[in-house]
Amino acid sequence: MLKALLPLALAISAIPAFANPIAARAVPAGFSITSISPSGTGCPPSSVFYVLNAGGTAFSIIFSEFSAEAGPGASAGSDTKTCTLNLGVNIPAGYRFTLEAVDSRAFYHLDSQVKASREFAYSFSGSTGTGTTSSEVSGPLQGDFAHTDAFDDAGPSPCGGSTTLNLVSKISVDNTANTSGMGFVAIDAMDSNAALDTRFRWEAC
């Protein structure tokens, strides 16, 4: 089970606005996120806090163990971590959506020539709509950064009805260009928050 549901006011004050917002769009009446189930090496359920907004139309997730590392002393298999979020969604009749972008906040510590990448992919149960996006940064780099990763090949959800949105996140660190260097990346938080900016793109169908 998830640790807790935070009240909305706490969630908003705890999660700063992200840079480069994509223009907000109205959410059609009747849309709601009904459940969020995390699984994977990067997000065992006890390591994740999530909150839905009051209308259940947007979510924020805070991770405490979603980190990857490489370099001298790093344990085997720790260079890549994944997290799958299965979101139950009710889609109003006559509407469908694509996932426009994922906002995330990540901490990096990368030595020279050490790279960290993040990849996101989504799919729906019951439709062929999918999307992927990936980005890479290279050291030297240290600090917290806000990212907006847009899906440029986004496909739509089913038209109306209840379905599951499967969002897979993957982070990895690669030090093959500098095997004496180390790297660490951690995703701290991820949003799809209509109270801040909507990352679902809606259309009639």
Ligand X SMILES: *[C@@H]1O[C@H](CO)[C@@H](O)[C@H](O)[C@H]1NC(C)=O
Interface positions with ligand X (CB under 6 A):
111-113, 178, 180-181
Contacts of 9 (CB under 8 A, 6+ apart): none
Q: Which is nearer to ligand X, 89 or 182 (CB)?
A: 182
Q: Which is nearer to ligand X, 46 or 112 (CB)?
A: 112
Least gap, CB of 184 to ligand X (angstroms): 12
Q: Which is nearer to ligand X, 79 or 197 (CB)?
A: 79
Q: Residue 159 — φ and ψ, nearest 5°?
A: -85, 100
Exposed (0-12), middle (13-18) or buried (19+): which is 191, by Cβ within 10 Å?
buried
**Cis upstream peptide for 140 (omega within 30°):** yes
Q: Which is nearer to ligand X, 102 or 182 (CB)?
A: 182
| CA–CA separation, 156 and 100 (whole Å) | 10
| CA–CA separation, 168 and 103 (whole Å) | 14
Least gap, CB of 177 to ligand X (angstroms): 7
Residue with the two structure tokens 């209308």: 55
Least gap, CB of 61 to ligand X (angstroms): 32
Q: Which is nearer to ligand X, 137 or 168 (CB)?
A: 137
Least gap, CB of 140 to ligand X (angstroms): 7
Least gap, CB of 112 to ligand X (angstroms): 4
Residue whose beta carbon is closest to ligand X: 181
